[in-house]
Structure 1
Amino acid sequence: MKLGAKIAILIIICLGIGYASSMVTQNGVTTWYPTIEKPSFNPPNWIFAPVWTLLYICIAVAGGIIWDKIETHPLAKKALLLFTIQLILNTLWSFLFFGLRNPLIALIEIILLLLMIYETYMIFNKINKIAGYLFVPYLLWVSFAMFLNASIWWLNS
Protein backbone atom coordinates (compact mmCIF):
# COMPACT_ATOMS: atom_id res chain seq x y z
CA MET A 1 0.00 0.00 0.00
CA LYS A 2 1.28 3.46 -0.87
CA LEU A 3 2.01 6.19 1.68
CA GLY A 4 -0.93 8.32 0.50
CA ALA A 5 -3.38 5.46 1.11
CA LYS A 6 -1.97 4.84 4.59
CA ILE A 7 -2.30 8.53 5.43
CA ALA A 8 -5.85 8.62 4.05
CA ILE A 9 -6.86 5.59 6.14
CA LEU A 10 -5.44 7.16 9.30
CA ILE A 11 -7.09 10.51 8.56
CA ILE A 12 -10.45 8.72 8.30
CA ILE A 13 -9.78 6.81 11.55
CA CYS A 14 -8.57 9.88 13.46
CA LEU A 15 -11.41 12.11 12.25
CA GLY A 16 -13.85 9.30 13.07
CA ILE A 17 -12.44 9.18 16.60
CA GLY A 18 -12.78 12.94 16.77
CA TYR A 19 -16.38 12.73 15.65
CA ALA A 20 -17.17 9.99 18.19
CA SER A 21 -15.55 12.07 20.93
CA SER A 22 -17.56 15.11 19.88
CA MET A 23 -20.79 13.14 20.26
CA VAL A 24 -19.93 12.45 23.92
CA THR A 25 -18.75 16.03 24.36
CA GLN A 26 -21.79 17.68 22.78
CA ASN A 27 -24.25 16.76 25.51
CA GLY A 28 -21.87 17.90 28.26
CA VAL A 29 -21.06 21.17 26.47
CA THR A 30 -24.72 22.12 26.23
CA THR A 31 -25.87 20.98 29.68
CA TRP A 32 -23.17 20.57 32.32
CA TYR A 33 -20.18 22.58 31.06
CA PRO A 34 -21.92 25.99 31.06
CA THR A 35 -22.81 25.53 34.73
CA ILE A 36 -19.27 25.00 36.07
CA GLU A 37 -16.61 27.58 36.86
CA LYS A 38 -13.87 27.96 34.26
CA PRO A 39 -10.58 29.87 34.38
CA SER A 40 -10.12 33.18 32.60
CA PHE A 41 -7.97 31.51 29.93
CA ASN A 42 -10.74 29.09 28.92
CA PRO A 43 -11.08 29.36 25.11
CA PRO A 44 -14.46 29.90 23.48
CA ASN A 45 -16.28 26.67 22.63
CA TRP A 46 -16.16 27.30 18.87
CA ILE A 47 -12.34 26.99 18.79
CA PHE A 48 -12.21 23.34 19.83
CA ALA A 49 -13.66 21.71 16.68
CA PRO A 50 -11.30 23.37 14.16
CA VAL A 51 -8.25 22.90 16.39
CA TRP A 52 -9.01 19.22 16.98
CA THR A 53 -9.70 18.65 13.29
CA LEU A 54 -6.30 20.09 12.37
CA LEU A 55 -4.58 18.13 15.14
CA TYR A 56 -6.20 14.84 14.10
CA ILE A 57 -5.06 15.43 10.51
CA CYS A 58 -1.50 16.20 11.65
CA ILE A 59 -1.20 13.11 13.82
CA ALA A 60 -2.80 10.96 11.10
CA VAL A 61 -0.19 12.15 8.59
CA ALA A 62 2.53 11.43 11.15
CA GLY A 63 1.10 7.98 11.79
CA GLY A 64 0.92 7.29 8.04
CA ILE A 65 4.58 8.23 7.64
CA ILE A 66 5.53 5.80 10.42
CA TRP A 67 3.22 3.08 9.10
CA ASP A 68 5.05 3.39 5.78
CA LYS A 69 8.29 2.52 7.61
CA ILE A 70 6.92 -0.61 9.30
CA GLU A 71 8.92 -2.98 7.07
CA THR A 72 12.14 -0.97 7.12
CA HIS A 73 12.55 0.52 10.59
CA PRO A 74 12.85 -1.63 13.73
CA LEU A 75 11.01 0.90 15.93
CA ALA A 76 8.01 1.40 13.65
CA LYS A 77 5.83 -1.36 15.13
CA LYS A 78 6.40 -0.09 18.68
CA ALA A 79 5.73 3.45 17.48
CA LEU A 80 2.39 2.43 15.97
CA LEU A 81 1.44 0.65 19.19
CA LEU A 82 2.13 3.86 21.14
CA PHE A 83 0.16 5.80 18.51
CA THR A 84 -2.82 3.49 19.01
CA ILE A 85 -2.64 3.71 22.81
CA GLN A 86 -2.57 7.51 22.77
CA LEU A 87 -5.58 7.55 20.41
CA ILE A 88 -7.50 5.32 22.82
CA LEU A 89 -6.56 7.58 25.75
CA ASN A 90 -7.51 10.63 23.70
CA THR A 91 -10.99 9.19 23.11
CA LEU A 92 -11.36 8.13 26.75
CA TRP A 93 -10.77 11.67 28.04
CA SER A 94 -13.95 13.04 26.46
CA PHE A 95 -15.99 10.28 28.06
CA LEU A 96 -14.45 10.90 31.50
CA PHE A 97 -14.68 14.70 31.44
CA PHE A 98 -17.94 15.33 29.55
CA GLY A 99 -19.68 11.95 29.76
CA LEU A 100 -19.03 11.19 33.43
CA ARG A 101 -18.60 14.90 34.24
CA ASN A 102 -15.60 14.05 36.39
CA PRO A 103 -12.74 16.55 36.00
CA LEU A 104 -10.54 14.76 38.57
CA ILE A 105 -10.55 11.37 36.83
CA ALA A 106 -10.20 13.18 33.50
CA LEU A 107 -7.18 15.07 34.91
CA ILE A 108 -5.46 11.86 35.95
CA GLU A 109 -6.19 10.37 32.55
CA ILE A 110 -5.00 13.43 30.58
CA ILE A 111 -1.68 13.29 32.43
CA LEU A 112 -1.32 9.70 31.21
CA LEU A 113 -2.39 10.82 27.74
CA LEU A 114 0.20 13.60 27.72
CA LEU A 115 2.95 11.17 28.74
CA MET A 116 1.88 8.77 25.99
CA ILE A 117 1.81 11.58 23.41
CA TYR A 118 5.33 12.56 24.49
CA GLU A 119 6.55 8.96 24.18
CA THR A 120 4.92 8.70 20.75
CA TYR A 121 6.53 11.98 19.70
CA MET A 122 9.95 10.79 20.87
CA ILE A 123 9.81 7.49 18.99
CA PHE A 124 8.28 9.09 15.87
CA ASN A 125 11.08 11.66 15.91
CA LYS A 126 13.70 8.87 15.95
CA ILE A 127 12.08 7.25 12.91
CA ASN A 128 11.21 10.35 10.89
CA LYS A 129 11.73 13.99 11.88
CA ILE A 130 8.67 15.22 9.96
CA ALA A 131 6.44 12.69 11.75
CA GLY A 132 7.89 13.90 15.05
CA TYR A 133 7.33 17.56 14.19
CA LEU A 134 3.72 16.84 13.24
CA PHE A 135 3.13 15.71 16.83
CA VAL A 136 4.41 18.96 18.40
CA PRO A 137 1.16 20.99 18.03
CA TYR A 138 -0.78 18.04 19.51
CA LEU A 139 1.65 17.83 22.42
CA LEU A 140 1.32 21.58 23.05
CA TRP A 141 -2.48 21.60 22.80
CA VAL A 142 -2.92 18.66 25.16
CA SER A 143 -0.48 20.32 27.59
CA PHE A 144 -2.75 23.37 27.53
CA ALA A 145 -5.81 21.12 27.88
CA MET A 146 -4.24 19.49 30.93
CA PHE A 147 -3.79 22.88 32.64
CA LEU A 148 -7.33 23.83 31.66
CA ASN A 149 -8.65 20.52 33.04
CA ALA A 150 -6.65 21.01 36.28
CA SER A 151 -7.98 24.55 36.66
CA ILE A 152 -11.56 23.45 36.13
CA TRP A 153 -11.14 20.69 38.69
CA TRP A 154 -9.59 23.13 41.18
CA LEU A 155 -12.27 25.79 40.69
CA ASN A 156 -15.10 23.29 41.08
CA SER A 157 -13.84 21.04 43.87
Structure 2
Amino acid sequence: MKLTILDDWYYNLKKPSWQPPDWLFGPAWTLIFIGEVTAAVLGWEAIRNPVILALFIISLLVNGILNILWSLFFFKQRRPDIALIESGFLWASVAFPMFILALYAGSCWIFLLPYLLWVSFANMLNRKIVCLNAPFGGV
Protein backbone atom coordinates (compact mmCIF):
# COMPACT_ATOMS: atom_id res chain seq x y z
CA MET A 1 0.00 0.00 0.00
CA LYS A 2 1.49 3.29 -1.09
CA LEU A 3 0.96 6.04 1.48
CA THR A 4 2.71 8.96 -0.18
CA ILE A 5 0.46 9.90 -3.06
CA LEU A 6 1.46 12.95 -5.07
CA ASP A 7 -1.75 13.63 -6.97
CA ASP A 8 -3.77 16.69 -7.98
CA TRP A 9 -4.88 17.27 -4.39
CA TYR A 10 -1.27 17.50 -3.23
CA TYR A 11 -0.09 19.60 -6.18
CA ASN A 12 -2.99 22.03 -5.69
CA LEU A 13 -2.10 22.70 -2.06
CA LYS A 14 -0.60 26.12 -1.41
CA LYS A 15 2.96 25.59 -0.22
CA PRO A 16 5.58 27.97 1.11
CA SER A 17 8.34 29.15 -1.19
CA TRP A 18 10.92 27.45 1.03
CA GLN A 19 9.52 23.93 0.54
CA PRO A 20 12.23 21.67 -0.89
CA PRO A 21 11.63 20.22 -4.36
CA ASP A 22 9.79 16.89 -4.40
CA TRP A 23 12.84 15.03 -5.74
CA LEU A 24 14.79 15.84 -2.55
CA PHE A 25 12.50 13.85 -0.26
CA GLY A 26 13.61 10.41 -1.55
CA PRO A 27 17.35 10.97 -1.03
CA ALA A 28 16.71 12.68 2.32
CA TRP A 29 14.67 9.74 3.62
CA THR A 30 17.26 7.28 2.31
CA LEU A 31 19.98 8.99 4.35
CA ILE A 32 17.68 9.26 7.36
CA PHE A 33 16.86 5.55 7.26
CA ILE A 34 20.55 4.65 6.90
CA GLY A 35 21.23 6.74 10.01
CA GLU A 36 18.33 5.14 11.86
CA VAL A 37 19.47 1.60 11.03
CA THR A 38 23.03 2.50 12.04
CA ALA A 39 21.82 3.93 15.35
CA ALA A 40 19.65 0.85 15.95
CA VAL A 41 22.52 -1.57 15.33
CA LEU A 42 24.98 0.43 17.44
CA GLY A 43 22.40 0.80 20.20
CA TRP A 44 21.65 -2.92 20.07
CA GLU A 45 25.36 -3.66 20.53
CA ALA A 46 26.06 -1.00 23.17
CA ILE A 47 23.05 -1.13 25.51
CA ARG A 48 23.70 -3.84 28.09
CA ASN A 49 20.67 -3.36 30.33
CA PRO A 50 17.91 -5.62 28.92
CA VAL A 51 15.11 -3.36 30.15
CA ILE A 52 16.68 -0.28 28.54
CA LEU A 53 17.38 -2.26 25.36
CA ALA A 54 13.73 -3.35 25.19
CA LEU A 55 12.64 0.25 25.75
CA PHE A 56 14.98 1.36 22.96
CA ILE A 57 13.64 -1.23 20.52
CA ILE A 58 10.03 -0.42 21.41
CA SER A 59 10.73 3.28 20.92
CA LEU A 60 12.04 2.58 17.41
CA LEU A 61 8.97 0.50 16.59
CA VAL A 62 6.68 3.26 17.87
CA ASN A 63 8.60 5.71 15.70
CA GLY A 64 8.04 3.53 12.65
CA ILE A 65 4.31 3.37 13.35
CA LEU A 66 4.11 7.14 13.86
CA ASN A 67 6.06 7.72 10.65
CA ILE A 68 3.53 5.61 8.73
CA LEU A 69 0.61 7.35 10.46
CA TRP A 70 1.87 10.78 9.44
CA SER A 71 1.84 9.77 5.77
CA LEU A 72 -1.55 8.14 6.20
CA PHE A 73 -3.05 11.31 7.71
CA PHE A 74 -1.38 13.75 5.32
CA PHE A 75 -1.63 11.93 2.00
CA LYS A 76 -4.26 9.17 2.23
CA GLN A 77 -6.73 10.96 4.50
CA ARG A 78 -5.81 14.39 3.09
CA ARG A 79 -5.71 15.80 6.59
CA PRO A 80 -2.55 17.88 7.04
CA ASP A 81 -4.18 19.31 10.18
CA ILE A 82 -4.30 15.90 11.86
CA ALA A 83 -0.82 15.10 10.53
CA LEU A 84 0.40 18.31 12.19
CA ILE A 85 -0.92 17.18 15.57
CA GLU A 86 0.60 13.75 15.06
CA SER A 87 3.93 15.28 14.04
CA GLY A 88 4.58 16.38 17.62
CA PHE A 89 4.41 12.75 18.71
CA LEU A 90 6.59 11.79 15.75
CA TRP A 91 9.20 14.35 16.84
CA ALA A 92 9.17 12.95 20.39
CA SER A 93 9.51 9.42 18.99
CA VAL A 94 12.79 10.46 17.37
CA ALA A 95 14.07 12.40 20.38
CA PHE A 96 13.38 9.61 22.90
CA PRO A 97 15.67 6.96 21.38
CA MET A 98 18.29 9.69 20.94
CA PHE A 99 18.07 10.31 24.68
CA ILE A 100 18.45 6.59 25.42
CA LEU A 101 21.46 6.38 23.11
CA ALA A 102 23.05 9.45 24.70
CA LEU A 103 22.78 7.82 28.13
CA TYR A 104 23.72 4.25 27.24
CA ALA A 105 25.55 4.21 23.90
CA GLY A 106 27.83 7.24 23.87
CA SER A 107 27.73 9.31 20.72
CA CYS A 108 25.53 6.88 18.74
CA TRP A 109 22.66 9.35 19.11
CA ILE A 110 24.31 11.50 16.45
CA PHE A 111 23.07 9.08 13.76
CA LEU A 112 19.50 10.12 14.60
CA LEU A 113 20.22 13.85 14.55
CA PRO A 114 19.51 14.25 10.80
CA TYR A 115 16.16 12.54 11.37
CA LEU A 116 15.28 14.89 14.23
CA LEU A 117 16.29 17.93 12.19
CA TRP A 118 14.28 16.72 9.19
CA VAL A 119 11.19 16.04 11.31
CA SER A 120 11.59 19.49 12.89
CA PHE A 121 11.73 21.07 9.45
CA ALA A 122 8.84 18.92 8.21
CA ASN A 123 6.76 20.03 11.21
CA MET A 124 7.30 23.67 10.25
CA LEU A 125 6.43 22.88 6.64
CA ASN A 126 3.33 20.94 7.70
CA ARG A 127 2.22 23.86 9.90
CA LYS A 128 2.65 26.33 7.06
CA ILE A 129 0.66 24.11 4.67
CA VAL A 130 -2.14 23.92 7.23
CA CYS A 131 -2.12 27.71 7.67
CA LEU A 132 -2.19 28.30 3.91
CA ASN A 133 -4.92 25.76 3.12
CA ALA A 134 -7.19 25.26 6.15
CA PRO A 135 -9.86 24.19 6.83
CA PHE A 136 -9.60 20.47 6.06
CA GLY A 137 -12.13 17.70 6.42
CA GLY A 138 -15.17 19.74 5.45
CA VAL A 139 -18.35 18.19 4.14
Distance 2:87 2:126 in 1: 8
Q: What is the aligned partner in structure 2 of residue 129 from structure 1?
A: 106
List aligned pairs for 1:48-127, cutoff 5 A.
Answer: 48-69=25-46, 72-74=48-50, 75-127=52-104
Return the alpha-carbon distance in structure 2 between the equivalents of residues 129 and 69 of structure 1.
8
Q: Secondary structure at the match of 2:3?
A: helix
Residue 132 of structure 1, CA deviation: 0.4
Structure 1's consecutive aligned runs of 4 or more residues displaced over 4 angstroms after TM superposition are: none
RMSD: 1.4
Which AA in structure 2 matches 1:106?
A
Structure 1 residues not aligned, in runs of 5+: 1-19
Tell me the amino acid that sits aligned with residue 127 of structure 2.
A
How far is the alpha carbon of 1:62 from its aligned partner? 0.5
Report how far residue 83 of structure 1 moved.
1.2
* Distance across 2 between alignment mates of 1:56 and 1:88: 14
State how far apart, in whole Å, the 2-side matches of 1:129 and 1:142 are: 23
Equivalent residue for 1:24? 3
For 1:131 and 1:100, the matched residues in 2 are separated by: 36
Consecutive unaligned residues of structure 2, counting only runs of 5 or more, are 135-139
Q: 1:147 Cα deviation (Å)?
A: 0.3
Identical-residue share of aligned pairs (%) = 38
Structure with the bigger percentage of helix: 1
C-alpha displacement of 1:54 = 0.7
Count residues in correspondence: 133
Contact 1:62 / 1:131 at 8 angstroms: preserved in 2?
yes
| Partner Cα separation in structure 2 for residue 73 and residue 133 of structure 1 | 21
DSSP-derived class of the 1:41 partner: coil
